[in-house]
């Protein structure tokens, strides 16, 4: 099969050894199905393992790839299971799953490993292996355009299966990315998917599939609505969970047990968290001073630019490593989103000519947020970007390290769009807020909320949930914080108290 086809069909065949380990694991848990269904069976590793582990069960396997179906048939005949097997070439997207699943009598086990590919990747290959209705999360406008509507095909498939079961008692045991397992659980818990129990058992995807992703066996019992929490085990063999993820209000938290103990630290942040500047053109927009004291860019060019539009830049890796002295600069073409950039030509002709000579790179920016916009436009820019003092954190690193950032060469420091920050007028306020955020209670609370294996463990939504007042109290820093807030007076203390009271109610 050619590489593109393999990618489009999310084709990662499960090694027989792992399929057998999963089936043994299910047997140990007392799962004895009458019917086993592998909805995308590939060359049949799971069906062969199931034939051995569940010697009485009827086996059904479908796949879109006719050659694979044939291979499965041969493998099952070698395993002497042909008499209780039905395999066929079928496209998952063309099934009527409700009717199909309703036709199976007895206890049903849906077992296997669905395609590992996203709708965006399929589209980029001009492929057709996607569901007809793609925006099932209901994203609109800017969310859809900034990529939130990108989803894993297997997430969509799992949701169809849970919906089609319509609350019938059954077992689902699927290998998938841990992020997909969480999305499925969140969907089912929020939409009465009748999940009686669920657990995640991590597997080593690098070892078994050569894929650098966090993956697990997702085990679900459907049939009645149980607790909205799921223990997470570090391996198939682990006996005690490392964490218990769960639904708290509308959000998933990574450790519901610690979250419950610390949820008084949650509330509305009195500060507005912001993300760093987005330009999607780092080869032109980011520069540094080379040996010859010229500015250099990633294209290997040496340039001389006016200083007007150049600002010091810290990247998320700088923040994660505690580096606060910027080595890079970023060209900041606007002070707010939508601002006209033509003035640059008059104020800083070298800068304009430099930008203009790379116009094709700006025009080629993929994100549709730039389409038909002002030339050299930015996102994530506003008055807040130019506050002199900042407290910033990387969104990509799993340990949230909040860094106090001072002005550099008399200019405010900006951040790349993988960072989040708060802006301050005074050093005193920035310093105490950094101390509060780095305090032990805050770090513990954050670790109960965030998922370390996410691409972006820290988000604005998560930071916005930190009740700085309550955390300051817990960390013994509240008097100091209130006193600097009062000196500044842009935010009177009554408001702080009032906001601290507005703790979001979350069911325990």
Q: How far is the CB of 212 from ligand SAM (least distance, A)?
A: 16
Burial classification of residue 123, based on how many CB atoms lie within 10 Å of its CB (0-12 exposed, 13-18 middle, 19 or more buried): middle
Longest dimension (CA), the chain: 82
Neighbours of 361 (CB within 10 A): 15
Question: CA-to-CA distance for 93 and 427, rounded, in angstroms?
Answer: 57
Q: How far is the CB of 144 from ligand SAM (least distance, A)?
A: 23
Residues binding ligand SAM (CB under 6 A)? 9-14, 38, 40-42, 45-46, 63-65, 68, 91-93, 112-113, 115-116, 129
Q: How far is the CB of 62 from ligand SAM (least distance, A)?
A: 6
Phi, psi torsion values for 85, nearest 5 degrees? -120, 140
Q: How far is the CB of 89 from ligand SAM (least distance, A)?
A: 8
The residue among 65 and 448 lying less far from ligand SAM, judged by its C-beta, is 65
Instruction: Produce one character per residue of 268-307: b if its CB has 16 or more CB atoms within 10 Å, e if not.
Output: bbbbebbbbbbbbbeebbbbeeeeeeebbbeeeeebebee
Q: How far is the CB of 217 from ligand SAM (least distance, A)?
A: 11
H or E segment to which residue 431 belongs:
helix 427-437
Q: DSSP alpha helices (H): ranges in 2-125?
A: 3-8, 16-28, 45-53, 66-78, 97-102, 119-124
- Secondary structure in 3-state letters for 159-176: HHHHHHHCCCCEEEEEEE
The residue among 111 and 265 lying less far from ligand SAM, judged by its C-beta, is 111
The residue among 13 and 282 lying less far from ligand SAM, judged by its C-beta, is 13
Question: CA-to-CA distance for 81 and 58, rounded, in angstroms?
Answer: 9
The residue among 46 and 420 lying less far from ligand SAM, judged by its C-beta, is 46
Q: How far is the CB of 476 from ligand SAM (least distance, A)?
A: 52
The residue among 42 and 380 lying less far from ligand SAM, judged by its C-beta, is 42
The residue among 220 and 442 lying less far from ligand SAM, judged by its C-beta, is 220
Question: CA-to-CA distance for 402 and 458, rounded, in angstroms?
Answer: 12
Neighbours of 224 (CB within 10 A): 11
The residue among 209 and 329 lying less far from ligand SAM, judged by its C-beta, is 209
Q: How far is the CB of 13 from ligand SAM (least distance, A)?
A: 4
In sequence order, the 6+-apart residues with CB closer than 8 A to the CB of 290 are 296, 302
Phi, psi torsion values for 277, nearest 5 degrees? -75, 140
Q: How many residues does this entry show for the chain?
A: 508
Q: Indicate the residue whose CB is closest to ligand SAM.
A: 42
The residue among 164 and 484 lying less far from ligand SAM, judged by its C-beta, is 164
Neighbours of 84 (CB within 10 A): 17
360 forms beta bridges with none
The residue among 62 and 379 lying less far from ligand SAM, judged by its C-beta, is 62
The residue among 46 and 311 lying less far from ligand SAM, judged by its C-beta, is 46
Residue 264 DSSP code: G
Question: CA-to-CA distance for 417 and 415, rounded, in angstroms?
Answer: 7
Question: CA-to-CA distance for 348 and 308, rounded, in angstroms?
Answer: 7
Question: Token pair of 183, please?
Answer: 């999305």
The residue among 45 and 499 lying less far from ligand SAM, judged by its C-beta, is 45
The residue among 37 and 500 lying less far from ligand SAM, judged by its C-beta, is 37
In sequence order, the 6+-apart residues with CB closer than 8 A to the CB of 204 are none
Q: How far is the CB of 479 from ligand SAM (least distance, A)?
A: 57
- Secondary structure in 3-state letters for 432-474: HHHHHHCCHHHHHHHHHHCCCCCCCCCCHHHHCCECHHHHHHH
The residue among 89 and 191 lying less far from ligand SAM, judged by its C-beta, is 89
Question: Token pair of 369, please?
Answer: 């947020």
- How many angstroms separate the Cα of 271 from the Cα of each of 16, 390, 433, 485? 53, 12, 10, 11
């Amino acid at each position: 099969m050619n590489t593109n086809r393999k990618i489009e069909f999310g084709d990662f065949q499960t090694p027989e050894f792992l399929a057998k380990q999963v089936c043994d694991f299910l047997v140990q848990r007392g799962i004895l199905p009458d019917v086993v269904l592998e909805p995308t069976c590939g060359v049949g590793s799971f069906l062969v393992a199931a034939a051995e582990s569940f010697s009485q069960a009827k086996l059904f396997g479908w796949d879109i790839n006719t050659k694979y179906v044939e291979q499965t048939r041969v493998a099952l005949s070698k395993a002497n299971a042909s008499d209780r097997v039905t395999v066929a070439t079928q496209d998952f997207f063309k099934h009527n799953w409700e009717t199909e699943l309703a036709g199976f009598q007895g206890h049903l086990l849906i077992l296997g490993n669905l395609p590992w590919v996203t709708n965006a990747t399929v589209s980029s290959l001009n492929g057709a292996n996607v569901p007809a209705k793609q925006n099932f999360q209901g994203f609109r406008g800017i969310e859809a355009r900034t990529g939130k509507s990108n989803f894993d095909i297997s997430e969509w498939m799992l949701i169809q299966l849970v919906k089609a079961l319509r609350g019938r008692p059954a077992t689902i045991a699927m290998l998938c990315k841990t992020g997909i397992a969480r999305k499925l659980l969140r969907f089912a818990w929020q939409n009465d998917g009748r999940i009686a129990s669920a657990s995640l058992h991590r597997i080593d995807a690098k070892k078994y599939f050569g894929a650098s992703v966090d993956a697990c066996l997702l085990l679900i019992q459907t049939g009645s609505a149980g607790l909205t929490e799921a223990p997470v085990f570090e391996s198939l063999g682990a006996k005690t969970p490392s964490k218990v993820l769960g639904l708290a209000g509308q959000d998933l938290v990574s450790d519901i047990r610690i979250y419950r103990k610390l949820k008084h630290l949650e509330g509305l942040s009195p500060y507005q968290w912001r993300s760093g500047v987005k330009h999607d053109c780092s080869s032109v927009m980011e520069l540094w001073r080379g040996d010859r004291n010229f500015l250099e860019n990633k294209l290997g060019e040496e340039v001389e630019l006016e200083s007007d539009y150049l600002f010091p830049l810290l990247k998320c890796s700088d923040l994660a490593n505690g580096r606060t002295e910027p080595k890079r600069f970023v060209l900041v073409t606007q002070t707010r989103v939508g601002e006209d950039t033509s003035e640059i030509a008059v104020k800083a002709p070298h800068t304009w000519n430099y930008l203009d000579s790379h116009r094709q790179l700006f025009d080629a920016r993929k994100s549709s947020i730039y389409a038909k916009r002002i030339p050299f436009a930015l996102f994530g820019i506003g008055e807040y970007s130019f506050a002199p003092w900042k407290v910033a954190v990387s969104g990509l690193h799993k340990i949230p390290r909040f860094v106090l950032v001072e002005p550099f060469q008399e200019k405010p420091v900006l951040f790349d769009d993988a960072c989040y920050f708060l802006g301050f007028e005074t050093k005193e306020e920035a310093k105490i807020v950094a101390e509060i955020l780095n305090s032990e209670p805050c770090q513990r609370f954050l670790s109960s909320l965030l998922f370390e294996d996410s691409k972006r463990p820290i988000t604005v939504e998560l930071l916005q949930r930190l009740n700085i007042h309550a955390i300051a109290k817990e960390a013994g820093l509240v008097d100091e914080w209130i006193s600097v807030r009062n000196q500044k007076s842009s935010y009177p203390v009554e408001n702080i108290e009032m906001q601290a009271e507005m703790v979001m109610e979350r069911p325990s």
